[in-house]
Structure 1
Amino acid sequence: MFWKIVGALLLLWVAFMVLGSVIGFLVEAVFWVALIAGAAFLGTAAYGAIKGNRDKKQLRS
């Protein structure tokens, strides 16, 4: 009976370790994707602000 409890605790500990590493990897991957997307958005916005036409006509005045 003692070894069944020890085995169950060991199995539970390994499951938590694997689950934690998978969730940690996903959080880190989402962080880097968001960081790259934010940099691309800011670069595009800066390029549009610098390159934009100043003499655009309004649709309604």
Structure 2
Amino acid sequence: MDSRRFQKRTAINHLNQISNDIAFFCIKPRIIKIGNSESALEFLVIAKPDEWGKTGENQPI
């Protein structure tokens, strides 16, 4: 991992630690293609709030 990416992840993690009302995410979009299928967009989560997977993931928007 290059230093700029590490700095961004560290900044997002810090913002999530000090913020109670806002959740910050760092995502990396990429285009994938499987076999002869059409291209699709995939989002890789690079950084997210610690409790996101425990409480917010299955909540309706």
More strand, by proportion: 2
More helix, by proportion: 1
Task: State which structure, 1 or 2, has the greater radius of gyration over its C-alpha atoms.
Answer: 1
TM-score computed with the length of structure 1 as normaliser: 0.30
